[in-house]
Structure 1
C-alpha cells in the first residue's frame, strides 16, 4: 500500500436530495417590494453540514458549483448543483477565507496564512498563486473578503483578524499601521488604498459599480483574548463621483445582533447582510425590507445557481440556501 492510498478522500457529502431545515419558520417580510422577490414560506435548504467555520461562498458558473471556505479546516469546498455532492476542491489551504469568481471562472482568494490575495485557475488545478502580498513595501495584515467589480478590478479588505486568532491563521505582528480596503487592477498591477477603517470586513459593489459597501466589525475584537472590543458593527457606503473618485463615507446600516460580517448585492441595488441572528435585507435607499431568521451566526452569502435565483448562506457549520421568486 502506497502513502497515497492512506490519504483521505475528497468527498464530504454524497450525491442526493437536499433536505429542509426542520425548525425554520419562514421569512419576515416588512415591505411589499420584498414580497415580490422572496416568499415568506420559502423553505431553508441545507446543502452541507459538518464544517467548522463556513465562509466565503462564491458561485462559479463555469462549473455550476458553489465554492466556500472552511477556514479552520484549511479547505476550500465545492457544492455541485447537478447532484448535491460536496467535495474538497483545495485541501491544506493557507486559511482561505473570502473568495470571488471572475467572469472567466478564475477564482480570487483571501489567505490569512500567507497574508495575501491569491488566484486559482478556473479548474482549481495546481496551487493558488499569490498576487497581492504587500502595500507600500509592507506585508498585508490578513485579507478577509474580496469582490470582483464589473470592470474586472479586485476589491478586498485587510483587517488583523487572521493574525490575532490562531484558529484563523497564525499569530503575527502587523507591519502596516492601518486597516484598509483596497482596489487592485489586474491589467496594470496598480494597488490603490481606498479607505481606512478600524477593522474592515465585508466588501461588495453595486451591479453598476457606482456604489461601494464595506463593513467595519471592530466590535468582534472583543472575542479575541487580549483585545478590547471596538465600537463598529456597521456597513458604510461610498458613491463614485463623476471624476472617478469616491465620495465621503456614510453609514448605511447597523446590525442589532452581532455584526455584519459579509454581504451581497442584487440587481435591484438591495443589500443582503449577515448578522448573528440571520440575514437582513435593505433597499438601496436604506429601507429595511425584511429578515431571514437563522439559528446560527451567518458569516457571508452570495447569489448564484444556473437561474440566479438562489441565495447561498454560510452559517456556522452549515451551507444553507433559499430560492427566490425572481432572479437576483
Structure 2
C-alpha cells in the first residue's frame, strides 16, 4: 500500500469529516452505566468491526487484584501470557486452566527509594527474534534482555549520550532486531522535577543491534505506547498528555528513521464527560488496524484513523496484546487483565502475537 493510503494528515481531513470522527469518538468514550456483573462492554462503531470482534463476545477476567496491570505479552512457545505490575515490581504469568503465578520478582530494580522512584518494576514487554524477553525496565531505567530458558538477564542500553534514561515505558521490535522505545518520566516520583532525571527530554528512541542509539523525537511531553505498522513504514507513538492527548505517526525512511510526523488522532475531544484514561499502549494488527488505548477504553482504528469499535469497562485500559494465535486480545485494565475473543482468521495466525 502506498504511503498516502495509510494514516491521516490534518490537511487531508475535511472539517465535516473531522467533526464526525471526533464526535463519534467522544460519544463512544463516555463512561457506561453498566451492571455490577458486567466485565466490559463492546461497542460497534463501524460494520468493519464485525470481522474483528463478535459484538456479543463474552469477555472474561483472567487476573485481578493487581496494583496496576501493564505490559501484556503472549508467549506462543509455551502458550502463556505475561503481564507486568510496575509499582509492585513483578511480572506475572497466566495460562488457560491455571492460576496466575509470579514469573519474575523483582521485575525491575530492587531496593529503590519510593521517595525517588514511583514505579520500580518492569513496564512494557516484547520478544526478540530469538525468543528472549525484552523488558522496558522503568525502575532500572534501561532496556533489558532476559533469557526465558537460562533466566540470565542483561542490560542492553541505559544511556543516551552519557545520560541515564528517565524510565523506559514501552517497546517494539522491528524485523531486523531494532528496538523502538519510549522514555517518559512516569517511573520517577517527581516526574520532570525529579533529582534523578538526567535527560533534558522525554524521548522516543531506537536501539540497533550494533549498539547505536538514536533519538527519534525529543519534543513530546509524555511519550508512552509505541508500535510499528506491519510493513514497518510507520511508527505510532501515543502521547499521554493531560492537555494534548494524541497519537502520533511517523513516516520512516529505508533506514528506519523518521522523514516526517503528524498527529494521527487528537484524543482531547474523547475526554468529554470525564472518560477515564489517556492514550497509552497499542498494537497493530496484520491488516493495519490500530488497537490503542484512548480515553474511555481500547479503540480499534482503521489505518486512516476511522473509529471501528470500542471496548470499555468503566476505567482506564492501559495496554493490549494479541494472543492464542490471533484468537484473543488481552487487555490490562487497571487492577485486572481481560480476555476478549476475536474472530477466527482476522489477525494473521502466522504473525507473532
- Bin for the TM-score computed over the shorter chain: 0.7 to 0.9
Q: Give the 5 Å matches for 1:22-171.
A: 22-24=37-39, 26-81=41-96, 83-94=97-108, 95-123=121-149, 125-126=151-152, 128-164=153-189
Q: Give the 5 Å matches for 1:182-201.
A: 182-186=205-209, 188-196=210-218, 197-201=220-224
CA RMSD of aligned residues (A): 2.0
For 2:257 and 2:123, locate their aligned partners in 1 and report how far apart those are by CA, in whole Å.
29
Decide whether aligned partners of structure 1 residues 84 and 22 sit closer, same or farther in structure 2, where only a CA change above 3 A counts.
farther
* TM-score (norm. length: structure 1): 0.83
Determine if contact 1:61/1:105 at 8 Å carries over to the other structure: no
> In structure 2, the residue corresponding to 1:93 is in which secondary structure?
coil
Could you report, residue by residue, the CA deviation over 1:88-114 in whole angstroms, capped at 9, with x for unpaired residues? 110122211111112322111111221
The match for 2:326 is: 308
Q: How much has 1:232 moved relative to structure 2?
A: 2.5
Instruction: Name stretches of at least 5 consecutive residues in structure 2 with no aligned partner.
Output: 1-35, 109-120, 348-353
Equivalenced residues, count: 290
Q: How much has 1:25 moved relative to structure 2?
A: 6.3
1:296 aligns with 2:315: yes
Kindly indicate whether structure 1 or structure 2 has the higher relative contact order, using CA contacts under 8 Å at least 6 residues apart. 2
The match for 2:249 is: 237
* TM-score (norm. length: structure 2): 0.78
For 2:223 and 2:329, locate their aligned partners in 1 and report how far apart those are by CA, in whole Å.
23
Decide whether aligned partners of structure 1 residues 252 and 98 sit closer, same or farther in structure 2, where only a CA change above 3 A counts.
same
Q: Give the 5 Å matches for 1:182-261.
A: 182-186=205-209, 188-196=210-218, 197-219=220-242, 231-241=243-253, 244-255=256-267, 256=270, 257=275, 258-261=277-280
The match for 1:320 is: 338
Determine if contact 2:225/2:280 at 8 Å carries over to the other structure: yes
For 1:280 and 1:198, locate their aligned partners in 2 and report how far apart those are by CA, in whole Å.
22
Instruction: Name stretches of at least 5 consecutive residues in structure 1 with no aligned partner.
Output: 1-20, 220-230
| Greater fraction strand | 1
Q: How much has 1:151 moved relative to structure 2?
A: 2.2
Q: Which moved more, 1:195-204 or 1:240-249?
A: 240-249
